[in-house]
Amino acid sequence: MANHTIDDIESAASALANQLSAGINLREAVGRMVRLQPRHADMWATAAESLSRGGRLSATLEAHWPEGVVAALKAGEESGSLQEVMKRTAASMQVKNTVKKIWGKLMSPVIALLAGFGVLMFFMVAVIPKLAASMGGGEESFVLKASVLTSKVVLGYWPLLIAALAGLAFAARQWLKAPGNIDRVIMTGDRIPVLGEALRNLYFGMWAYQMAMLDAAGLPARQQLTLSARTLPEGYRDGVMLMASECEKRGLAESSDPDKQPEDDPRRAWPFYISTAFAIAHETGRIDQEMQRCAPILIDEGIKKLTKAAGVADLGAKVAAAVMIGLPLLGYFTQMSNSLTKSFS
């Protein structure tokens, strides 16, 4: 996507669709984008100049916008439906942005665990050893022994520990940025019951918007499927590519029906609304209409299930954090009890 964010594309597509619907010609509309997006002024100026010489907008945008969107723009330019394609592009990017923000819900359990671990380390390193030393006497509990050892390690080697943690954080970030690793994380989540359903609904909901946009541009079904598959995580693409290879021979309804696929076929795990939409589109010939209808339902269902999964994970994380905080306190009171018992014996 080069240096164009989802927000950039949504804003540009919305502005162009609005201007085209008002009757402003494409060359003038693109020229005005320089003021709307000064950060990309050079690109829009180049696009406007190219249009004045008979070029196409898609030729300039293909180095900056996603391949599937550019393919829809090319088809829209050829069919005269560029305004509708821009409108659908803006809607699709808006949905992607909404879903992206939803992932923040999954950060709450992580924050709870980190907070619990931080409190645990504070007690183990700075609190319990000093309190236990001030009491003196009694048999040392396991928690006290662990606390003393932890304190010695942390206070004695803290520069190395900080460097190690920073290295691990950097390595994790680089691993996530490597091609395919985010998809591996998603497919790991797909195997978790409630979370897996949420992920499939969300990603296939966004994919449905992409299909609607490509169909509105006038592309044939096979090409729609092939191009849109790239917007899905790698583990979800196989079913779409299988349908692309079969849709012309078997038809939209049969090639998307989970019950008519082999046992190990990935389409058997597709959300209910996707196969229903293709079944209706097979009769009506309106993939865009049916995908536009089912996409918000899938997104809504995905958000509900993701919220539920995040709630369960958050509860589990808070319980784990409470245990991490409670254990050193329990150890301290045990040590205090041992010391008092010795002092009165």
pLDDT at 142: 72
pLDDT at 344: 61
Indicate whether 36 pLDDT > 70: yes
Whole-structure pTM value: 0.74
200 and 344 in a single domain? The answer is yes
Q: Does residue 283 fall inside a structural domain?
A: yes
Mean pLDDT of the chain: 85
51 and 76 in a single domain? The answer is yes
Of residues 332 and 178, which shows the higher confidence score? 178
Q: Does residue 241 fall inside a structural domain?
A: yes
Q: Does residue 208 fall inside a structural domain?
A: yes
Mean pLDDT score, 217-228: 89
Range of the domain at 11: 6-93
- Could you tell me how many helices (H) and strands (E) the chain has, helices first? 16, 0
CA distance 274 to 211: 11
- Measure the CA dihedral 122/123/129/135, to 10°: 140
78 and 185 in a single domain? The answer is no
Indicate whether 102 pLDDT > 80: no
Counting beta carbons within 10 angstroms of the beta carbon of residue 79, is it exposed (0 to 12), middle (13 to 18) or buried (19 or more)?
Answer: middle
Mean pLDDT score, 305-320: 84
Q: How many domains does the chain have?
A: 2
Highest mean pLDDT, choosing among 49-58, 119-128, 306-315, 320-329? 49-58
Q: Does residue 1 fall inside a structural domain?
A: no
148 and 297 in a single domain? The answer is yes
Q: Does residue 146 fall inside a structural domain?
A: yes
What does the radius of gyration of the chain's CA atoms come to, in whole angstroms?
Answer: 28
Report the alpha-carbon angle 130-133-137, nearest 5.
Answer: 155
Indicate whether 155 pLDDT > 90: no
- Measure the CA dihedral 294/300/306/307, to 10°: -170
% of the chain beyond a pLDDT of 90: 39
Tokens standing for 275? Answer: 């196969």
pLDDT at 1: 41
88 and 151 in a single domain? The answer is no
**Which residue is associated with the tokens 């100026």?**
45
| Full DSSP string of 43-66 | HHHHHHHHHHTT--HHHHHTTTS-
Query: Which of residues 93, 127, 161 is at a domain's end?
Result: 93
Mean pLDDT score, 264-293: 93
68 and 123 in a single domain? The answer is no
149 and 72 in a single domain? The answer is no
